[in-house]
Structures are given as C-alpha cells and as structure tokens.
C-alpha cells in the first residue's frame, strides 16, 4: 500500500522560505507514469493546486505561485520536496503531497501538514 | 487562474440523490475529459471518487457517478448515506496546470 508522509517546519517567519519533504513508502517515485504533486488548503478554505513533478524532472506550477515555487525529487531517498519562498501569512495552510496520473487526478494523498507563517 | 465554480452547499435526505455542478471554461472543463472529484471529511485528506469525468477508482461505491456537458461537469451521489456528508471538490486539467473548484458542502438531512 502506497503511503505518503509530509515533513517539515510547522512555523515559518514571513519573507522566509517554506520547505517541505514528502517521503513515499510502499512504492517507488521513479515510475514514469505518475506525477508527484503538492496541494494546499488554507484554514476553512478550498483546495489549491501548487504544482507537480514527473520522474523525468519536468515540473508544472500554478501560474499564481510560479515565481516563488520549486518542486524537486530525490529518487535515492524516494522523496520529493517543495520550496516556497518569500512567504506571507496568506501562505498559511495545510500542505498535502500526493501522487497522480496524467489527467486522472490524484489517487494517493499524504495526511497533510499545517504550516503557519508568523513572526 | 480562476477556480471552477461550485455551489457552496447541497443537501438531501438519506436514500435520495444529490447532484453537484462544476462550471469552468473551454480552457479547462470543456476542453478536456480530465475532470476529477474529491470527497473530504473534516480533518482528513481528500479522497478521489471520480476521475476522467465518469470513472470510479476501485473501492468507490457505484452510488457515485460523474458526467459532463460542455463547460459543466456534475457529480451525482445516489442513495445518500450519512457517511456521504462531506465537502466535495471538482478539479480539471487545464493545459499545463490543474484547477480546483471552491468546494460544495453536502449535508445529509
């Protein structure tokens, strides 16, 4: 059974960089069919897609976040990561990592991790 | 990037059906047969219940069905059960990115 687990600081100061890692177990992130992505959900709000990465290294980002986001993967550790720089309070959210298939939605999700941006 | 439009709420009695709409544009919902629907219970991660407009992942009851007409997709939950009370989100492929709807809270009366 594939499992995804987010990890990283729960508190980030304004203007700094939010960094999260997703560790995948029960399967390899090296498969060519799937993408590995990040989605966030501000408190009491809806889902917001951040971006994704394929095994090839190809990335796609939400245009509204593109200038601040980087998603990368480390196949040796079976992990992929999210960096979001110059954060503000508006970036406070539960951040989910997930696996998906082109056009077919995301079928496996991590449990989510709350990141609060505050001084 | 605009979110897809969903009604904020919907409700039905046990055993009844409820249908949720998801309206986008020709650049997302109308342009691709890549609409997904997610169910989210409070404090939990979303769960995929429909993909590619009308396909159900393994383990999802056939009470859940999806369809699309033009720029509007729909999710129907038939034979409502108490456990179906949740937030539901639509999502669509939109070229090189993905867009979500604002979510619909389904209440089982």
All residues of chain B having their beta carbon less than 8 Å from the beta carbon of residue A112 are 45
pLDDT value of residue A32: 75
Q: Do B102 and A60 touch (CB under 8 A)?
A: no
pLDDT reported for residue B1: 45
pLDDT over 90, % of chain A: 90
pLDDT of residue B2: 52
Can you tell me the distance from the alpha carbon of B45 to that of A10, in angstroms, rounded to the nearest whole number? Answer: 18
Q: What is the pLDDT of residues A63-107, one digit of tens each?
A: 999 999 999 999 999 999 999 999 999 999 999 999 998 888 899
CA A102 to chain centre: 17
Say what the pLDDT of residue B107 is. 97
Residue A69 C-alpha, separation from nearest chain B C-alpha, in angstroms:
14
Cα-based distances in Å from B53 to A13, A102, B58: 41, 13, 15
- Contact between A67 and A61 (Cβ < 8 Å): no
- Pick the closest to residue A118 from A12, A8, A2, A6 (CA basis): A12
| 8 Å CB contact of A46 and B103 | yes
**B residues 33-92 lying closer than 8 A (beta carbon) to A:** 33-34, 36, 38, 40, 45-48, 51-52, 55, 57, 89, 91
Q: Which residue has the higher pLDDT, A55 or B46?
A: B46
Nearest residue in A to B49, CA atom: A107
Instruction: Supply the mean pLDDT for chain A.
Output: 95
* DSSP secondary structure code for residue B3 in this structure: P
Contacts of A34 (CB under 8 A, 6+ apart): A54, A55, A99, A100, A101
Q: Could you report the average pLDDT of every consecutive run of 10 residues in chain B (109 residues)?
A: 85 97 95 96 97 96 97 97 97 90 96
């Amino acid at each position: 059974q594939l499992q995804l687990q987010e990890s990283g600081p729960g508190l980030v100061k304004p203007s700094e960089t939010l960094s999260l890692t997703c560790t995948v177990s029960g399967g390899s992130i090296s498969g060519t069919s799937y993408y590995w992505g990040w989605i966030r959900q501000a408190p009491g709000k809806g889902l917001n897609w951040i971006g994704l990465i394929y095994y090839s290294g190809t990335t796609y980002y939400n245009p509204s976040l593109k200038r601040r986001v980087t998603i990368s993967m480390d196949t040796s550790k079976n992990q992929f990561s999210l960096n979001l720089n110059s954060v503000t309070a508006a970036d406070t959210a539960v951040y989910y990592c997930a696996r998906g298939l082109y056009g077919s939605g995301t079928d496996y999700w991590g449990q989510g991790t709350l990141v609060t941006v505050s001084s | 990037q605009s979110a897809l439009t969903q009604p904020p709420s919907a409700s039905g009695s046990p055993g009844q059906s409820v249908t949720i709409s998801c309206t986008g544009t020709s650049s997302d919902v109308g342009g691709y047969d890549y609409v997904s629907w997610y169910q989210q219970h409070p404090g939990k991660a979303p769960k995929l219940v429909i993909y590619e407009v009308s396909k159900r992942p393994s383990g999802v009851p056939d009470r859940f069905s999806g369809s699309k007409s033009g720029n509007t997709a729909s999710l129907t939950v038939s034979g409502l059960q108490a456990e179906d009370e949740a937030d539901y989100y639509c999502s669509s492929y939109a070229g090189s990115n993905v867009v979500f709807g604002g979510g619909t809270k389904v209440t089982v009366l």
